[in-house]
Structure 1
Amino acid sequence: MPGTWSISTTLRNPERIVDFLRVLSRFEGKPFNEKTQGLFFKELIRTKLYTPTGISDYYKQKFEDPEEFTDSELSDLLSQVFYENKSFNNDQELAYAMRGRTAVSNITKMGLAIAKESMGAVKITDLGKMLLKDEVDLVNVFFRYFLKWQIPNPTDKGYKDFDIVPFIAVMHVISKVNKEWKNLGHKPVGVSKEEFSLFLTTLIDYKDIKEQVSKIIEFRKEKRSLDKNAAQRYVDRRFIETAIEVFKLNLSEKKKIETKVNNLYDYGDSAIRYFRQTKLLYYRGNGRYVDLAPTRRVEIKRLLENFDGRALSFKNAEDYLRYMSDINKPALPWENMDDLKSVYENLLEQARFLQTDINNQYRDQALHQFTLSKVDLTNINDYNKEIAKLREVIKTLNNDLAILKERSLENIDLYIKKLTELATRKRSISGQDPLNLEYYTTLSLMALDDAREITPNYSVGDDNLPLFTAAGNNPDIECKYSSFSMICEVTLLRGRDQWFNEGQPIMRHLREFEERDSNKSLDNFCLFIAPNIHRDTLNTFWMSVKLGYEGKVQKIIPLTIIQYVNVLKKVKKLNEKGVRVNHKDIQNLLSNIFDKNIEAGNDSTAWLASVDEVIEQWSNSLSA
């Protein structure tokens, strides 16, 4: 019997839920038996959403192409794959089916689809269809799901002693830990990732919330009383003891203990990552702690007052899944005038604090000034509109604060290191890598010069850390300078799928950005950054650079990540010599690279080959 609750680690990147759901929709109306389960898993491979291990270099390379595998290619690829599983007598079709069931698990749990053998045909729910059509915000989907996901429930067996809504219980624990820690004379910090893995994933009954709070406080006090090495030994021992107790192991089963300790860490990491998607939790302490989001203070207070973390009772699986797929349930306890007024006032306070902090720290350097006067509103709709506006104001102010902080260049070495790591990996080792590329590129652009605005289009939480990559209909990053404007598009794709996913969309994004720009007299650039520039991508951009897109030449600047890192290194060295690069210098660099297309004549490769020399000449001219 399970001793913990966990969110499936199959989908480490929550954004991939939509991609998996889209593949599942191909099987709608078919019984989700072992045959369909296996076919679903194979389809994930065909569509390149899942990469098996042990395949040949040829097929590793084929995963870089945009096209799906053909039937013959898929059959040949699968002949190279072997999943060892003694319980299935190594029957590969049964192994595929098991992986298909695992891959679909979160989709069913979230009420996006019904895909269980015991419930007949595959069905994409109304909520799932809305998500596939971009008619509902993914943040709202996660928020509603975690408000309702409970153990036990009629679709998951084997949770006899459980009685918990994990997300609600987690918020109760964090809230109470903060109060207890404050009462002891300390600043509340939420809970650490270690505490989450040890005490929250093992909380299986809402009635034990108070007990777990006490355990966290005692654990924290003990750890803080020890030196660094002793503290780490203490943490390691507590994880081993917890694994033995929770999973009913013997001290002699060292391999199993090691595996279960790793599981505890994985369960905690996955839960935090998913729960952050609701925007009710956020990181603090450089990501070491997770806490309740300050801009959602009123909403969280009402949730904790109205929900104690106990599981509801359902007649059958159909009733439960119907409840899970209803985006209007449960009713939100703050959807009334008094509470919405409190939400509005809390956000207004947060916005004023941020603006004051920026003005105090940076005086006349503030990038935006908002009129943050309290207004009297008379209906729920008006409050919701003002709340939405204030959330955007807070997002802008957080972004301004980040820009002003990054101008010191104190973090430039970190960004050089992180971007280099992303550039040199042959394949992404984390579902978060594309998001990390957008994040570190954004921060490095903030650090480069005296930009007025560097605005990433990824979704962020209260910690100003990204949740989801930028939507496909927007540039990854939008940049405004006094003398020019720019979008920045980044990708980790290396093969022909780079051209397929980035070629035409980037040219369209740049044109739409140009049309939105209020100052039509300024130059507009697109900085495209990738591990390498695929020949098809280059030649697609070349047409736009030489002949134009929809009647007008576009200034697209393709750089490898390493070339961009080289620019960062040059900026750092210049700064050490007392030369601070400004936006005009960056504009000159972009213009110099673009103008080399003239010397290249009709040869796109000659243009690309000139980039390193241009960067070197640009740097030398500034240091002269």
Structure 2
Amino acid sequence: MARRKLERKPLSFSTTMRNPMRIAPFIEALLPFEGMRLDNDVIESIIKEVLRKKIYATMPEKRNKVFNEILNDSELEFTDEQLEKIIKISPQNHKEAGFDRGWPSRFDTWYKLPMEFGFVYYKMGEKIEISDAGHLLAQTLEMPLKHANKQVQNIFLNALAKYQTDNPFRRNLIDNAPFILFLQTVRILGEKYNWNKTGIYRLEIPFITCWPNADASELARYINDFRIRYGKRPSEEVVYDACLELLDSTNENRFKIDQITKEGVDDFIRKLRITGLISIRGMGRLIDINKFEIDRVKYLIDTYANYQLFENEYEYYLYAGTIDNNLIEIISNENEFDIADIRLNTLNRWAKETDTVTIDEELKILSSRNGKSKHELLKYIDGPTRFEFLTSIALKQQFPAIKVVPNYAIDDEGMPTFTARGGIGDIEVFGPKDDVLVEVTLMQNKNQATNEIPGITRHLKEFGDHENKSVYSVFIAPTLHPDTHYMIDFTKFKEKLEIIGYTINDFVNELRDSKEISDLKIDD
């Protein structure tokens, strides 16, 4: 029997999983339960595992002194008794269709989007499944971040290429594949209409999320006409009214302006950004196709513009969770560009045009477990990558005469997409007297020492001899684990290599008091 469809609703991937990078740890928590039949007892065990891994925290948990201490200390773990108490004192006033009110419904909100992306499948009374794509995503948590980046990008690219607004897990009169619709519309706007800049402006994204069908040509014409009438900087109210018309609705309580012009836009950009196929231009105003990925974009449009429709949830899950190896194996076009120049030009521009207070505040946000950037562009860059970018900017701002060479991956705009790949340092700094490897991590537990310090030691050895220069490394993290201090001392004793460790806050303070980079070379 066909599903009953209700109304047109703007695309909204998830309010629980705004950051797609959160999905991997949720899937990892589900791994021990793969193959089990889902019931409330299994759900409670999954919830305990999620809480144990500190992937999700409740307000009563944060207000409890003992629980909050455990929550904020990576070395401490919850006992089973403590987990049971947390569940008891944190009743979830939440109800999802097909699940009991409370924690069972909370479980569904966690895993609903991963199921739509084809990573997992579950239904009360049926066996829990994790797809190949889901397993690959969970595996990235065990990989060094620098090696996991490309795999994460490919997995989400595969998922979003296949994602349909009216998939069997939703009830929506809007029928399109939003990522493909975006790519097609950008390409048509660039080829057919005479605008100075390609791409779609932030306040045109709601037209994508509210567009009723898959007709990209008509959508491009609509956007062109809208620009002619209202310009490229329309008011949110004008965009909102246009979207209500597209939704065939006058219900402003059902579809609020912030939902359509702010929350939905941020959600859309965050999800697309992780694929590596879009660039953000004009300090966040313009969303465009990454020119490094033109061949992959062409394949996506050719392959997925005419998509298969599904009525059966399980069949859609199988479709979404199957990896398209042809898509993954396409080589980037970035070798046609001077990557190093693009990266450095963007870094230098940010160092000149952004005030030091903004950069320092953004760095300090990364030192907080719950800190969130509100910057119009930086908020779309995931934390580890943003850390490398901000540190590079801060160094260039403070020491404009020296050469700062970051190694993070970039889009065609020069904005970072992922952290530096494995085998090279994060940031290389070359001065008249000092050549310095700057390494950063958001890791804070005891693995900080074993995962980071041996790699830094290896990078320092490979950095080579720099005649008449002092060569050393500066290592920065939110906090420095005691084992890290030990490993730093051991490296200095055994290898005769110097690593100076800083917390983020100490680094920012010391940097802004420094006249030259050698001033950072203090005993940690």
What is the TM-score with the length of structure 1 in the denominator? 0.70
Which residue of 164, 171, 181 corresponds with 1:158?
171
Structure 1: gaps of 5 or more residues: 352-393, 572-580, 595-607, 609-624
| Sequence identity percentage | 22
2:398 is the alignment partner of 1:448: yes
Q: Is 1:128 equivalent to 2:134 in the alignment? A: yes
Higher alpha-carbon Rg: 1
Deviation at 1:284, TM superposition (A): 0.7
Is the 8 Å Cα contact of residues 457 and 491 (structure 2) preserved in structure 1? no
Seen in structure 2, the aligned counterparts of structure 1 residues 525 and 32 have a Cα distance that, compared at 3 Å, is: farther
Once the two structures are superposed, residues 220-263 of structure 1 have per-residue CA deviations (whole angstroms, 9 ceiling, x without a partner) of 334339xx8xx53xx22432563587384545x4xx454x6325
Corresponding residue to 2:461 among 515, 537, 543 = 515
The 1:420/1:320 distance shift into structure 2, 3 A limit, reads closer
Q: Among residues 262, 267, 270, which one is paired with 1:265 in the alignment?
A: 262
**Cα distance in 2, alignment partners of residues 302 and 75 from structure 1:** 49
* Matched letter for residue 415 of structure 2: L
Q: Secondary structure at the match of 2:455?
A: helix
1:293, 1:396 → 2: CA distance? 16
Q: Given the alignment, which residue of 219, 225, 231 partners 1:212?
A: 219
Q: Tell whether 2:449 aligns with 1:503.
A: yes
C-alpha deviation, 1:482, in angstroms: 5.9
Q: Could you say which residue in structure 2 is the equivalent of 1:566?
A: 509
Alignment length, in residue pairs? 497
Distance 2:295 2:384 in 1: 33
CA shift, 1:313, in A, is 3.5
Q: Partners of 1:502 and 1:180 in 2: how far apart?
A: 52
Q: Distance in 1 between matches of 2:36 and 2:192?
A: 53
- For residues 296-335 of structure 1, the aligned pairs below 5 Å read 296-304=293-301, 306-307=302-303, 309-314=305-310, 316-328=312-324, 331=326
Specify the alignment match of 1:359 in structure 2: none
CA contact (8 A) 2:239 2:261 kept: no
Shift of residue 286 of structure 1?
Answer: 1.0
- 1:14-413 equivalences under 5 Å are 14-55=20-61, 56-58=63-65, 59-66=67-74, 67-85=76-94, 94-117=101-124, 120-134=126-140, 137-153=151-167, 155-159=168-172, 161-182=173-194, 186-197=195-206, 199-207=207-215, 209-224=216-231, 231-232=234-235, 235-239=236-240, 242-243=243-244, 246=247, 248=249, 250=251, 253=253, 256-258=254-256, 261-262=258-259, 265-304=262-301, 306-307=302-303, 309-314=305-310, 316-328=312-324, 331=326, 350-351=336-337, 394-405=338-349, 408=352, 411-413=355-357
Shift of 1:81: 1.9
Pair 1:418 & 2:335 matched: no
SS for the counterpart of 2:20 is coil
3-state DSSP class of the match of 1:76?
Answer: helix
Deviation digits for residues 60-84 of structure 1, max 9, x if unmatched?
Answer: 2321222442212212333332332
1:479–1:34 Cα change, 3 Å: farther
Give CA-to-partner distance per residue, 1:94-125, whole Å, 9 cap, x none: 3222221221223223333333447x212222
Is the CA contact 2:426–2:437 (under 8 Å) kept in the aligned structure 1?
Answer: yes
SS in 1 for 2:499: strand
Q: Deviations 1:152-180 (Å, cap 9, x if unpaired)? A: 34x41423x34322111111112223345
Q: 1:283 to 1:479 in 2, by over 3 A?
A: same
Instruction: Return the alpha-carbon distance in structure 1 between the equivalents of residues 425 and 127 of structure 2.
Output: 39
1:384-423 alpha-carbon deviations (Å, 9 max, x no partner)? xxxxxxxxxx433322323554675864343234334555
Letter in 1 for 2:45: L
Structure 1 residue 296 displacement after superposition: 2.4
CA pair 503-6 structure 1, distance change in 2 beyond 3 A: same
Contact 1:38 1:99 in 2 (8 A): no
Does the 8 Å contact 2:439/2:456 carry over to 1? no
Q: What CA deviation, in whole Å up to 9, does each residue of 1:526-559 have, x standing for no partner?
A: 323345x45xx2x434434545468235533233
Is the contact between residue 449 and residue 484 of structure 2 (CA under 8 Å) also seen in structure 1? yes
CA distance in 2, matches of 1:528, 1:128: 33
SS of residue paired to 1:12: coil
Return the alpha-carbon distance in structure 2 between the equivalents of residues 63 and 281 of structure 1: 36
Higher relative contact order (CA 8 A, sep 6+): 2
Tell me if structure 1 keeps the 8 A contact 2:477–2:504. Answer: yes
2:266 maps to amino acid: D
Q: Shift of residue 25 of structure 1?
A: 0.8
One-letter amino acid of the structure 1 residue matched with residue 280 of structure 2: Y
Q: Letter of the aligned partner of 1:96 in structure 2?
A: W
Query: How far apart are 1:144 and its partner, in Å?
Result: 1.8
User: How far apart are residue 499 of structure 1 and its match?
Assistant: 3.9
Please give the alpha-carbon distance, in whole angstroms, between the structure 1 residues aligned to 2:272 and 2:437.
31
Aligned-residue Cα RMSD (Å) equals 3.6
Q: Is the 8 A contact 2:449 2:487 kept in 1?
A: no
Unaligned 5+ segments in structure 2 are 1-5, 141-147, 374-378
Instruction: Give the direction of change, closer, same or farther, for the CA distance of 1:293–1:540 in structure 2 (3 Å limit).
Output: same
* Letter of the 2:176 counterpart: I
**Higher deviation after alignment, 318-327 or 268-277:** 318-327
Give the distance between the partners of 1:138 and 1:311, measured in 2 at CA.
24
Q: Is the Cα contact below 8 Å between 1:112 and 1:126 reproduced in 2?
A: yes
**Counterpart-to-counterpart distance in 2, 1:221 and 1:569:** 47
Q: In 2, distance between residues paired with 1:80 and 1:468?
A: 39
Work out whether residues 446 and 484 of structure 2, in 8 Å CA contact, stay in contact via their aligned partners in 1: no
Q: For 1:176 and 1:281, how far apart are their aligned partners in 2?
A: 16
* 3-state SS of 1:278 partner: coil
Q: Distance in 1 between matches of 2:96 and 2:450?
A: 49
**Matched letter for residue 212 of structure 2:** I
Q: Does 1:586 align with 2:489?
A: no
Q: Is 1:427 equivalent to 2:370 in the alignment?
A: yes
Structure with the bigger percentage of helix: 1
Shift of the 14–62 alpha-carbon distance from structure 1 to 2, 3 Å rule, reads same
Distance 1:404 1:140 in 2: 30
Structure 2 equivalent of residue 488 of structure 1: 438
Pick which of 98-107 and 309-318 moved more.
309-318
Equivalents in 2 of 1:128, 1:195: separation in Å?
Answer: 32
Confirm or deny: 8 A CA contact 2:120 2:129 kept in the other structure: yes
Change (3 A) 1:115 1:85: closer
Are the counterparts in 2 of residues 514 and 520 from structure 1 also a CA contact under 8 Å?
A: no
The answer to whether the 8 A contact 2:364-2:504 is kept is yes
SS at match of 1:529: strand
